Amino acid sequence: MADTADAISGVSYVMPVLNEALYIENAIETVFSQDFGGEKELILALGPSTDGTDAIVERLVAADPRIRTVHNPETDIPVGLNLAIRASSYPIIVRVDAHSELEPGYTRRAIETLARTQAANVGGVMHARGKTPFQSAAARGYNSRFGLGGARYHSSGSEGPAESAYLGVFRREVLDEVDYFDETLRRGEDWELNLRIRGAGHTVWFDPALKVTYWPRESWSKLARQFCATGIWRGELVRRYKGRNPWRFFVPPVLVLTVLATLVVLVLQLTGVLDGWLSLAASLIYLGPLAYILLVAWLAFVADRGASLLDRWFFLVVLPTMHLSWGVGFILGLVRGARDSVDTSRTEI
């Protein structure tokens, strides 16, 4: 299998970048530290950053001719990815996130898996990590099967065909065939692209041996905004593709509706509108939020005994923030569509 990777003339890495001063250098370093003998090029799709990212990129480009840039003034990730892909030179496209770090053997293993499985796109495990107690708690949420709905690339699983893939290592000719990422989307573009790849008769493959480090948002407000925007665009995807969406999309909005119903019942009971047997029957609604609170508490304090005490307390806030923000966003997107919603956790410092 080693000869398979060596036979590839080169690999093009594509990375959308916006306000990534804290992460961009490490992300780029892991690209050029890949254990792959062929040519490498990195195309950065630069949005209008306000945190000094552009100056860092300018310095890196001047020092390494393998790094090139394309401008993405609208900041949309699918647009930036398409600009970078069209500017690329090689038959293998590796999507990289500026918030991520590739394991050294990632590229070689992915190319070997593409050849072994004849897949069009291969992805692996998103392994979230944190540098601060809050970010570590957010990473626990990402890595938990209860955090982001049980997709294999969040919590690992067996190798095989998959619905979607985290980031992705693509055959360029397949991207040409399906006409790249959908530029009308601002979130969920990877799931939608993989839906079209599978619809064209190709295979998307999950390989748990492929691992990528991901650094979550660093603050509560950024995390909440990110998940709300993601939920809005997932709601938009349900509007567009209806029955082809997985069931896990609907769990957070059900939680939100249950919480709202619980609050309504509580108000009606406190004001005396509900009393007697009707009030007792309505009280059954409390079982849902109670069960959820107990689950979050168990995950925070029992399931991972290696976490610090501060990490555990943050987790009590982080996991509901993920679920409720996503659920509220989903309902908004489903009811009114995504319209021009953006992820302000990327655009605001």
Residue 155 shares a structural domain with residue 258: no
Classify 38 as helix, strand or coil: coil
44 closest CA partner among 80, 1, 2 = 80
Neighbours of 348 (CB within 10 A): 12
Q: Write out pLDDT tens, residues 38-81.
A: 899 999 999 999 999 999 999 999 999 999 999 999 889 999 99
Q: Is the pLDDT of residue 173 over 70?
A: yes
In a domain, 231, yes or no: no
Decide which of 186, 216, 246 is a domain's last residue: 216
Q: Is the dihedral of CA 214, 220, 226, 228 positive or negative?
A: positive
13 with 109, same domain?
Answer: yes
Same-domain check for residues 183 and 87:
yes
- Using 50, 70 and 90 to split pLDDT, how confident is the model at 2? very low
Residues 195 and 276 both lie in one domain: no
The single-letter DSSP state of residue 164 is -
Residue ranges in the chain assigned as alpha helix (H):
2-6, 24-32, 53-63, 77-86, 106-117, 133-143, 152-155, 172-178, 189-199, 220-241, 251-270, 276-282, 287-298, 309-336, 344-347
Task: Look at residue 150 and tell me whether its pLDDT is greater than 60.
Answer: no
Q: Distance between CA 48 and CA 75 in Å, rounded?
A: 7
What is the rounded CA–CA span in Å between residue 86 and residue 71? 13
Q: What pTM value is reported for the model?
A: 0.89
CATH of the domain at 205: 3.90.550.10
User: Given this model, what pLDDT does residue 247 score?
Assistant: 82
* Same domain as 245, residue 191: no
340 and 243 together in one domain? yes
Q: Does 223 map to a domain?
A: no
| 186 and 275 fall within a common domain | no
pLDDT recorded at residue 156? 63
Predicted pLDDT at 111: 96
> Is residue 222 domain-resident?
no
d(CA 25, CA 5): 26
- Residue 144 scores a pLDDT above 90: no
* Residue 123 lies inside a defined structural domain of this protein: yes
Q: Are residues 158 and 266 in the same domain?
A: no
Instruction: For residues 237-260, give the mean pLDDT.
Output: 90
The neighbour count for residue 8, using CB atoms within 10 Å, is 19
- 309/207 same-domain check: no
Per-residue pLDDT at 265:
96
Within-domain flag for 260: yes
User: Is position 275 within any domain?
Assistant: yes
Range of the domain at 295: 238-347
Tens of pLDDT, residues 121-131:
999 999 999 99
**Would you list the DSSP string of 274-334?**
S-HHHHHHHGGGGHHHHHHHHHHHHIIIII-TTS-HHHHHHHHHHHHHHHHHHHHHHHHHH
Do 261 and 212 belong together in one domain? no
Given 183, 216, 249, which residue is the final one in a domain? 216
> Which range (93-97, 163-167, 175-179, 345-349) has the least confidence?
345-349
Give the number of domains in the chain. Answer: 2
pLDDT digits (tens, 9 = 90+) for 332-343: 999 999 988 888
How is residue 120 annotated by DSSP?
Answer: S
Question: CA nearest 181: which of 267, 101, 83, 87?
Answer: 83
Average pLDDT along the chain: 91
The pLDDT tens digits for 280-333 are 999 999 999 999 999 999 999 887 777 788 888 999 999 999 999 999 999 999
248 and 205 inside one domain: no
Is 105 in the same domain as 190? yes
| Angle subtended at Cα 237 by Cα 231 and Cα 242, rounded to the nearest 5 degrees | 120
Q: Is 79 inside any structural domain?
A: yes
pLDDT confidence band for 6 (50 / 70 / 90): low
DSSP-derived letter for residue 200 is: T
